[in-house]
Amino acid sequence: MSLNIQVLVVDDYATMRRIIRNLLTQIGFTKIDEAADGAEALAKLRASSFGLVISDWNMEPMTGLQLLKEVRADVRLKGTPFIMVTAESKTENVVAAKEAGVNNYIVKPFNADTLKKKIESVIGALG
C-alpha cells in the first residue's frame, strides 16, 4: 500500500491530532488532514476521498463509534479503513467497535512503530 493515501485524523484534542500527525509523518505519510469532531470528519469524508481514518473514541458531540457507524452506513464510505484510538481498553468497547465494523483498535499511549503495525494490518505493507 502506498504512503500517498490521504489520511484523516479525528480527535477533539488538537494536541492529540498533532501527535498522531507527527507519528504518521515519521512513518512516511504526507497527505494528512484533521477533523476536531465526528461531524466535521463526516463532512470531510463525504467531500473528499480518504484511504484511512484514524479516530478517537471519546469526542463530543459525535463519538468515534457514532462516526464509525455513519461511515459504515454510507454506500460510498463503507469500505474506508477505520482505526479507533482510545485511552480505554475495556472489552465491551473493543466488542462494540468490532461489531460496528472497525478495522483495528489502538490503545493510548502508542508509538510510531505500533501505529505502523496497526495500519499495515488494515491496508497492507507500507512503502
The domain limits of the chain are 7-120
Cell numbers that stand for 19 in this block: 501527535
Strand partners, 9: 34, 54
Superfamily of chain region 7-120: Response regulator (3.40.50.2300)
**How many angstroms separate the CA atoms of 127 and 55, rounded?**
23
Report pTM.
Answer: 0.95
Q: Is the pLDDT of residue 43 over 70?
A: yes
Cell numbers that stand for 118 in this block: 496497526
**How many angstroms separate the CA atoms of 92 and 40, rounded?**
26
Give tens-digit pLDDT for 94-103: 889 999 999 9
Give tens-digit pLDDT for 67-115: 999 999 999 999 999 999 988 878 888 889 999 999 999 999 999 999 9
Q: Would you give the DSSP letter of residue 22?
A: H
Average pLDDT over residues 7-18: 97
Q: Which residue has the cell 468515534?
A: 64
